[in-house]
Amino acid sequence: MSRNQLTILPKEIEQLVNLESLHLRDNELTTLPEEIGILKNLKYLDISRNQISNFPKEIQKLKI
């Protein structure tokens, strides 16, 4: 999902429970939903080159 000018990541991301890799590089994200912390199988998250200034505390639950 890199380079798609995304401005939000929907809360429904929590439904992707088997997701292991999420590439969000080069978008226009300013925040991430709290639900990202539910993705227990996520091993790689690339959020570089976005405008994220505040991270949800739930991101600490990820083992990336």
Parent domain of 53: 11-61
**13-48 residue pLDDT tens:** 999 999 999 999 999 999 999 999 999 999 999 999
Q: Is residue 46 part of a domain?
A: yes
pLDDT, tens digit, 9 for 90 and up, residues 4-22: 999 999 999 999 999 999 9
Tokens representing residue 29 in the block: 């994200």
Residue 30 falls inside a structural domain: yes
Q: Which pLDDT belongs to residue 64?
A: 86
Residue 5 is assigned to a structural domain of this protein: no
pLDDT at 54: 87
Ramachandran category for residue 15: left, alpha or beta (phi over 0 → left; psi -120 to 50 → alpha): alpha
Query: Domain count of the chain?
Result: 1
Residue 4, domain member (yes or no): no
Q: Is residue 3 part of a domain?
A: no
Instruction: Give the residue from 34, 21, 28 showing the smallest Cα distance to 52.
Output: 28
3-state SS record for 3-58: CCCCCCCCHHHHHCCCCCEEECCCCCCCECCHHHHHCCCCCEEECCCCCCCECCHH
- Residue 6 placed within a domain: no
Asked if residue 17 is part of any domain, the answer here is yes
